[in-house]
Amino acid sequence: MTDLPFEPARLLAEETPGDNSPAMSVSELSGALKRSVEERFAHVRVRGEISGFKRVASGHCYLALKDDKAVIDGVIWKGTAGGLAFRPEDGIEVVATGRLTTYPGRSKYQIVIERMELAGQGALMQLLDQRRRALAAEGLFDRERKKPLPFLPQVIGVVTSPTGAVIRDILHRLEDRCPTRVIVWPVLVQGDGAAEQVAAAVRGFDAMAPGGPVPRPDLVIVARGGGSIEDLWAFNEEVVVRAVAGCSIPIISAVGHETDTTLCDFAADVRAPTPTAAAEIAVPVRAELLGSLRELGLRAQRCANRYRERAGERLDAMARRLPTPDRLLGPQQQRMDDLGDRLPRGLSRRLAVARGDLAQAAGALRPSLLNARIARARERLAAARFRPALIETQVREAEAQVQRLWRLAEGLNPERPLAKGYAWVGRRPDGGVVTTAAQAKAAGALTLHFADGAVDARVERSGRPAYPQEKPEQPSLL
């Protein structure tokens, strides 16, 4: 062990003689580390699992690559992120190619990713399964969302490559089965930008207005030939799946061969094993339709003939059961003849009766009778003329009657006897009239009403009668 000279703690930092490591600033040290890391690790390939992936508003993407022992941060700049062949998601194992650098602001190192690929077929299938489960959880693959296909579409829209064999197979198959108008929306079916073009084509067909210059399709076919899972990956992208699921026009998905399956197949209303099979599903066979129409026409004609024959038989049977016109109308004809014979006799008798009534009425209308009745009416009118003496007599009799009624009313006035020394007794405090001694005793307090006023009084308890009673006469014995 070497003994070092003891240096006591100092308050101020000072340069000592022979010191070849002057103090560096934090920025200088960070810059030196950044240069060293970027020169030493200018090109690296890292394999790991994506964790914490996020895309910010600027378009840059931030994530972390990890394995079971370590974690390294990563960044994908906006220009690089747009060129990735797939959309990064958490839990996917990838191989990232780029360079290492440091971020002095946080004293961290990170990898700037310039290219990213899935780490083998298993990682690709894992990404596909995760995306399928996430979209299924949103209900995009539910059976209730599926729309029925039209029986005989007038216009069919096809989203596919215009130069491949797929469109020729579809057109030839449609021509053989049932010639139909076809509108092709040319798109890329593989590579960069293919998913966006397919989604734009589906949305474009859906946005067409009925009755416009370009007819709106009744049915849409999304088609592509066979290939590997990487070749068909554009039809597994989320943008294509959402466009197909949200289209209001029924869609047939015919991507790949019969053994190939994409997420577009789950979102479409019907999946066809091949593009040729999609054309067979889209339209019926014209010859079969014509044959069916002919058969239906013949069946309808036979049914009509059979119905007419049966109706004729029922009509004949009913006609045989009906009575003849003579049997139906004979009684009515006989009654009409009888009435015809009776009518002249009835008219003659009615005419004779009317003549007798007229003669009787004419006898009552003689002028001498009318003149006598007029004379009697004039006499009654003269007797009923206005006479003042009679009216005056009636007025005097009415006045006398009024005077008699007035004297009678004055005699019945209850206050008139008060002027002769009488009084009437009232009960306090309600003022009711007292008519018996028992009522007076029960009331106690009374009011005596005289002609010139009222006086309050109180009843003393006494059993003496108001007036002396006369002794009854002794019966005499005869």
CATH number, position 229:
3.40.50.261
Residue 45 shares a structural domain with residue 60? yes
Residue 308 shares a structural domain with residue 200? no
Residue 277 shares a structural domain with residue 301? no
Separation between Cα atoms, residue 232 and residue 168, nearest integer Å: 20
Residue 305 shares a structural domain with residue 250? no
What distances in angstroms separate CA 261 from CA 143, 226, 271, 429, one per listed residue? 17, 10, 9, 112
- HSE-CB for 25 with a 13 A CA cutoff: 4
For residue 211, being part of any structural domain is answered with yes
Separation between Cα atoms, residue 393 and residue 400, nearest integer Å: 11
Separation between Cα atoms, residue 289 and residue 48, nearest integer Å: 59
Q: Count of domains in the chain? A: 4
Q: What is the pLDDT of residues 305-330, one digit of tens each?
A: 999 999 988 888 888 887 777 777 77
Residue 158 shares a structural domain with residue 264? yes
For residue 86, being part of any structural domain is answered with yes
With a CB cutoff of 8 Å and minimum separation 6, the contacts of 166 are: 160, 223, 224, 225, 254, 275
For residue 354, being part of any structural domain is answered with no
For residue 435, being part of any structural domain is answered with yes
For residue 12, being part of any structural domain is answered with no
- Residue 180, phi then psi, degrees to nearest 5: -140, 150
| Positions of the chain with pLDDT under 70 | 1-22, 120-124, 363-366, 384-387, 431, 461-478
Residue 477 is predicted with a pLDDT of 38
For 82, which DSSP code? T
For residue 54, being part of any structural domain is answered with yes
- The pTM score is 0.47
Residue 194 shares a structural domain with residue 113? no
Length reported for the chain = 478
For residue 351, being part of any structural domain is answered with no
Residue 44's domain is classified under what CATH number?
2.40.50.140
In the numeric block, which tokens belong to residue 216?
Answer: 């709106």
Q: Which domain holds residue 289?
A: 285-319
Residue 248 is predicted with a pLDDT of 92
- Residue 103, phi then psi, degrees to nearest 5: -115, 95
Residue 290 shares a structural domain with residue 246? no
